[in-house]
A = this chain, B = another copy of it.
Amino acid sequence: MPKIQTPLILVNFKTYLEGTGKKALELAKKAEKVHLETHVSFGLAPQYSDIPTLAKAVSIPIFAQHVDFEKPGSFTGFVLPEAVKEAGAVGTLINHSEHRLKLADIDAAITRARETGLISCVCSNNAKVSAAVAALQPDIIAIEPPELIGTGIPVSKAKPEVVSGTVELVRRINREVIILCGAGITKGEDVAAALRLGTVGVLVASGVVKAKDPYMVMREFADSVRK
């Protein structure tokens, strides 16, 4: 199983054009630059068809945005864990707010990720659901209140009780799992606030990918983590 270093800044490229194809590659190189300058740990979640290019081009861990739980077989259009792994991914998001899964399928996807050697990062929408996810024993939980995603209103400042409540409920059930938070994170101080609340990093998307200067934003994030 690949090891993930924390604190961690995990950047979800979604299906933004600013994070697709050549632009995905440019973005990945900027993340790598910040990582090399600051030694802060980054992860990147590009679209499936950009995984092989990015995995070859940069030394930063690549995550899929989703994997299906089905075994190899007759599943046209599905995302096979083995395929993204061979393409160079070391992990995968599961159950992102924009790609919610059935409960039994989250369990199955975590199991499939583990047996394929992929780090599983399961997203959740509130403290209670985070506790449920914790019982499924993924490697990472990322709590993201959906109402704040893409708003620029940082969860770590606007809803600190959701983050700290998540940490508390999750820790009663699971002492090992890495806890991230996300939604509305655009500044270094949002990241710093997330760490103070007991998480070890952030899951970010538009705050980086759609920024005028993604390098500067990622650098600010990394600097706030090192303080």
CA distance A83 to B100 in the complex (A): 22
Which residue of the partner chain, among B64, B98, B135, B149, contacts A135 with CB atoms under 8 Å?
A: B135
Instruction: Please give, as numbers and ranges, the residues of chain B lying within 8 Å of A89 by CB-CB distance.
Output: 49
- Do A103 and B77 have beta carbons less than 8 Å apart? no
Beyond A52-B52, A72-B16, A74-B205, is A132–B136 a contact (Cβ under 8 Å)? yes
Which residue of the partner chain, among B47, B86, B173, contacts A20 with CB atoms under 8 Å?
A: B86
Beyond A51-B49, A102-B100, A103-B100, is A74–B136 a contact (Cβ under 8 Å)? no
Which A residues, 1 to 60, have Cβ-Cβ distances below 8 Å to chain B?
12, 14-17, 20-22, 45, 47-53
CA distance A12 to B97 in the complex (A): 30
Interface string of A63-74 (1 = CB under 8 A from B): 011100010111
CA distance A198 to B124 in the complex (A): 31
Interface size on A, residues (CB 8 A): 68
Of all chain B residues, the one with the shortest Cβ separation from A23 is: B86
Which residue of the partner chain, among B50, B74, B77, contacts A93 with CB atoms under 8 Å?
A: B77
Give the interface centre of A76, A82, A104, A136 by most chain B CB atoms within 10 Å.
A76
Copies of this chain, complex-wide, total: 4
Residue A163 at the chain B interface, CB threshold 8 Å: no
Residue A224 at the chain B interface, CB threshold 8 Å: no
CA distance A135 to B135 in the complex (A): 8
Residue A223 at the chain B interface, CB threshold 8 Å: no
A-B contact pairs, 28 of them (CB 8 A): A12-B76, A14-B75, A14-B76, A15-B74, A15-B80, A17-B82, A20-B86, A47-B48, A48-B83, A49-B51, A49-B64, A49-B83, A66-B76, A66-B77, A74-B150, A74-B205, A76-B96, A77-B93, A100-B102, A100-B104, A101-B102, A107-B129, A132-B132, A132-B135, A132-B136, A135-B135, A135-B173, A172-B173
Q: Which residues of A contact B (CB under 8 A)?
A: 12, 14-17, 20-22, 45, 47-53, 64-66, 70, 72-80, 82-84, 86-87, 89, 93, 95-107, 124-126, 128-129, 131-137, 149-150, 169, 172-173, 205-206
